[in-house]
Chains A and B, each alone.
Chain A
Amino acid sequence: MAGRVEGKVAFVTGAARGQGRSHALRLAQEGADIIAVDLVGQIDSVPYDMSRPADLEETVRQIEALDRRIVAKQADVRDFDALKSALDDGVAELGKLDIVSANAGIFSFGTMEELTETEFDDMLAVNLKGVWHTAKAAIPHLRANKGGSMVLTSSTAGILAVPNIGHYVAAKHGVVGLMKTLALELADDFIRVNSVHPTSVNTDMIQNAATYALFAPDLPEAERTKETVGKRFQTMNVLPIPWVEPVDVSNAVLWLASDESRYVTGLQLKVDAGQTLK
């Protein structure tokens, strides 16, 4: 049986690990070739270890093990020229572009009055401006392709506010505005644009000491385990689970990327275990 995105080429940002790697793998399992970019480096205002070159190499290895092609480059979504040249190289090598997953993102926290200039600027630069850069670099290729599907990664924090992450909430709400505008601007060219809105996802972005401290400030550090913190995370959801897995978001991205959703545009697709119902 043909894969659900057989023969398509997908551009995935933040593809070294976490959701981005999962999206690349899920799309490749269903027949897509991949253009992967990642910063593979640290941003100082981010309170957990970000991806490393070895992570991106591992994504490449796993895609190639599925017998799909991948072009992987180090690129920072904040740097439009670098991002564009990485994508252009990938398209030159793989022949075209059908799918875009604007996934690269960071997480940090602090109340609105505590946040520093740097924390705020880094957040907006990566999680919002980086998404715009990704779309801007991709649009000419998608127009040349006479259609395509763009999936922007927002969050439940793109729908409702959560205390202590105002800059993240602002950036993820901004992604929704960008998605709706792009959907209108690109509809005539049959380029569909949608967003995904995950609740917490079981990746390094939340499974780290800094995030555990945010969720369980009352517990001594030694007692902040995946299990105890998981119970705190679970109170945010309606379904009785602490977080979803990366593949759950990838399955949403896959559906939006495939021709099964050929007339779906402007959709905020929540994968949120009911978090936004509360």
Chain B
Amino acid sequence: MAGRVDGKVAFITGAARGQGRSHALRLAQEGADIIAVDIAGSIPGMDRFYPGATQDDLDETVARVEALDRRIVAIKADVRDFTALKDALDSGVAELGHLDVVSANAGVFQFGDKTEDVSDEDWDTVNDINAKGVWHTAKAAIPHLKQQGTGGSIVLTSSTAGIMGTPNVAAYTASKHAVVGIMKTLALELAPFSIRVNSVHPTGVNTQMIRNEATYRLFLPDTPHPTDEQAEEVFRTTNALPIPWVEPVDISNAVLFLASDEARYVTGLQLKVDAGYTLK
């Protein structure tokens, strides 16, 4: 049976680990070739939250995609640097021949300060990666999609924090709401070219971004060293379904649906994979 995105080429940012790697693998399982970028390095201002992805992580994504017998071009690039990102994508398209799917996934999570206490540096780090980086990703991809004239599917990674407010997470919440504005604008601008643009809105996802003591303490401020069990319990209260978090593959299955021709007339959708988080 043909894969659900057989013969397509997908560009994925933040592909070294976590959701980005999962998206690359899920799309490759269903027949896509992959252009992967990641900063694959530590980001100033982020180390006090959780460690950055590494070159080894990106190499592991390459190995796993190749093990599926799909092609992958992986390049180290920072979504904040438009020229580097564009060069990476251009060389990927030159090698793999075309571009059909874009997953603007690269993102960082910072938290803990009241809005009035967030520093300019932290605000800029989060918004430059999560919002401006998404714009850069789209901007680099659009010429390829338009020039081919075969449509395309762009999936922007937002969050439940792109729909609702979240106390003590101002910069991230602002950046993820901005992604929705970018998505809706792109959907209108690109519809005449049959290029579809949608966003995904995960609740907590079981990756290093939340599975760390600093994040646990955001939810359990009075517990000096929260355990996994304590974290599970408190994360579960945020969702309607009785689960603490979803797995990366759950977001990948949403990205796959939006990337595939099954969603050929779906554009402008905020696709929540949120276990009912936003209902509460």
Contact = CB atoms under 8 A, between A and B. Distances in A.
A262 B187 CA distance: 27
Nearest to B262: A251
A188 B194 contact: no
B234 interface: no
A239 B196 contact: yes
Contact of A269 (B194, B271, B275): B271
Nearest to B275: A263
A187 B275 CA distance: 8
B118 interface: no
Contacts of B278: 266
A265 interface: yes
B240 A240 contact: no
A252 interface: yes
Most buried by A among B188, B253, B265: B265
B184 A255 contact: no
B268 interface: yes
Nearest to A249: B265
B269 interface: yes
A73 interface: no
Interface stretch (B80-88, B170-178, B211-219, B241-249): B241-249
B94 interface: no
A239 B253 CA distance: 24
A248 B188 contact: no
A274 B241 contact: no
A180 B187 contact: no
B188 A263 contact: no
Given A270-B269, A271-B266, A239 B1 contact: no
Contact of B265 (A184, A192, A239, A278): A239
B274 A266 contact: yes
A190 interface: yes
Contact of B279 (A190, A238, A266): A266
Contacts of A271: 263, 265-266
A240 B191 contact: yes
Contact of A238 (B203, B243, B268): B268
Contacts of B187: 238, 274, 277
Nearest to B189: A238
Interface in A235-277: 238-241, 244, 248, 251-252, 254-255, 260-267, 269-274, 276-277
A103 B194 CA distance: 28
A227 B272 CA distance: 36
A251 to B, nearest CB: 4
A266 B257 contact: no
Say which size band chain B's interface belongs to: 35 or more
A91 interface: no
Interface in B154-191: 184, 187-188, 191
A240 B192 contact: yes
B264 interface: yes
Given A183-B279, A240-B194, A265-B241, A274 B267 contact: yes
A238 B188 contact: yes
Contacts of B66: none
Given A238-B187, A240-B192, A187 B267 contact: no
A255 B257 contact: yes
A56 to B, nearest CB: 26
A1 interface: yes
Given A1-B1, A248-B264, A276-B268, A265 B257 contact: no
B240 A265 contact: yes
A266 to B, nearest CB: 4
A254 B243 CA distance: 23
Contacts of A277: 184, 187-188, 267-268
B240 A274 contact: no
A184 B279 contact: yes
A123 B192 CA distance: 35
Contacts of A262: 250
B240 A187 contact: yes
Contacts of B271: 267, 269
10 tightest Cβ-Cβ pairs between the two chains A and B: A187-B240, A251-B262, A238-B191, A260-B253, A277-B268, A266-B279, A263-B246, A265-B276, A244-B265, A274-B267
Interface of B: 1, 184, 187-188, 191-192, 194, 196, 203, 239-243, 246, 250, 253-254, 256-257, 262-269, 271-276, 278-280
14 contacts: A183-B279, A184-B240, A244-B265, A261-B254, A262-B250, A263-B203, A263-B274, A264-B250, A265-B276, A272-B265, A272-B266, A273-B265, A273-B267, A277-B184
Given A274-B268, A277-B187, 13 more contacts: A183-B279, A184-B280, A192-B241, A238-B267, A252-B263, A261-B254, A263-B250, A264-B274, A265-B275, A266-B272, A266-B276, A274-B187, A278-B188
